[in-house]
Structure 1
């Protein structure tokens, strides 16, 4: 994953409502973020797989940050 893609992803996470990030289960949260990201940028199969893994590995961080904003 390149730095531009990472910045775009974290920008999207920051723009997403904190209550949504906190209330969805893991799979729904990852899918929601992936869908939103795909609306901003075209992704190939490999990028989707990489993003999916990245998001699952960062779920606790995403939720911690959302909790701080809530």
Structure 2
């Protein structure tokens, strides 16, 4: 995936409601994020496959980011 596509993908993650990221099952979340990315740019078949694999490999990170948006204590500010 090229850097522009990566930036666009993570922008989609940032703008997607945390509840969606946390509560959809894996395959539905992959489809949802791919669809949202495709609304921003036309993806060819090769890019779509690469995006799907990339999302699948980053699901734990995506969910951690979403969890941090709904639980400020998740960010951990140890004093």
- Taking structure 2 as the reference length, the TM-score comes to 0.87
Runs of 5+ consecutive residues of structure 1 not aligned to the other structure: none
Deviation per CA, 1:19-68, whole angstroms, max 9, x where unpaired? Answer: 11000000000000001111110000000000000000000000000000
1:37-52 alignment runs, 5 A limit: 37-52=37-52
**Aligned pair 1:9/2:9, yes or no?**
yes
* Partner-residue secondary structure (3-state), 1:58: helix
In the alignment of these two chains, the number of paired residues is 70
Greater Cα radius of gyration, structure 1 or 2 = 2
- Taking structure 1 as the reference length, the TM-score comes to 0.98
Root-mean-square deviation (Å): 0.4
Q: Residue 60 of structure 2 corresponds to which residue in structure 1? A: 60
**Aligned pair 1:29/2:37, yes or no?**
no
Which of the pair has the greater relative contact order for Cα pairs under 8 Å at 6+ separation?
1
